[in-house]
A and B are shown apart, each in its own frame.
Chain A
Amino acid sequence: MSLDTNFMVKVAYTALQGIPVTLNIVLVALLISLPIGVLFALIRIYRIKVLEQFVKFYVSLVRGTPIIAQILIVYSAFPSLLNVIIGKAAFDINPIYYAYIVFTLNSIATLTEVFRSALQTVDKGQMEAGLMVGMQPRQTFWRIILPQALISAVPNIANATLYLIKNSSLAFIMSVKDITAIAKTEAAFNYNFLEAYLVVWVYYLIICYSAEVIFYLLERYFSRYRRPTKQTTGFNWLPFSLKQPKLTAKTDLTESERTNHANN
Chain B
Amino acid sequence: MLTIEGLKKSYAGHDILKGISFNVNKGDVISIIGPSGSGKTTLLRTITTLEEADGGHISFAGIDNDFQKLNGKDINTIRRNVGFVFQNYNLFNNKTALQNITEGLIVARKVKKSEAKKIALEALERVGLTDRQNHYPSQLSGGQQQRVGIARAIALNPQVIFFDEPTSALDPELVGEVLKVMQDLANSGTTMVVVTHQMNFARDVSNRVIFMADGYIVEQGSPKKIFENPSEERTKKFLTDILSNV
Contacts and interface: CB of A to CB of B under 8 A. Distances in A.
Interface in A138-190: 139, 143-144, 147-148, 151
A227 B94 CA distance: 11
**Chain B: interface residue count, which band?**
20 to 34
B10 to A, nearest CB: 20
B88 A125 contact: yes
Contact of B50 (A128, A143, A227, A229): A128
Contacts of A125: 86, 88, 90
A42 to B, nearest CB: 19
A246 to B, nearest CB: 15
Contact of A147 (B48, B94, B153): B94
A77 B82 CA distance: 59
Interface string B67-94: 0000000001001101110101011111
A230 B153 CA distance: 27
A249 B136 CA distance: 15
Given A133-B104, A133-B156, A139-B108, A126 B92 contact: yes
Interface in B117-159: 136-139, 152-153, 156
Given A134-B109, A139-B108, A129 B138 contact: no
A130 B108 CA distance: 9
Contact of A133 (B49, B76, B93, B108): B108
Contacts of A92: none
Would you call the interface of chain A mostly helix, strand, loop, or mixed? Answer: helix
Interface string B45-79: 00011100000000000000000000000001001
A128 B86 contact: yes
Contacts of B109: 134
Interface in A209-263: 224-230, 252
Given A134-B80, A225-B138, A129 B107 contact: no
B138 A135 contact: no
Interface in B160-187: none
Interface in B21-44: none
Contact of A132 (B50, B88, B139): B50
Interface of B: 48-50, 76, 79-80, 82-84, 86, 88, 90-96, 103-104, 107-109, 136-139, 152-153, 156
Given A129-B91, A225-B96, A228-B139, 8 more contacts: A125-B90, A128-B50, A131-B50, A132-B50, A135-B107, A136-B108, A151-B94, A225-B138
Interface of A: 123, 125-126, 128-136, 139, 143-144, 147-148, 151, 224-230, 252
22 contacts: A123-B90, A125-B90, A128-B84, A128-B86, A129-B86, A129-B90, A129-B91, A129-B152, A130-B92, A130-B103, A132-B79, A132-B153, A133-B103, A133-B156, A134-B109, A135-B104, A136-B108, A139-B108, A148-B94, A224-B136, A225-B95, A227-B138
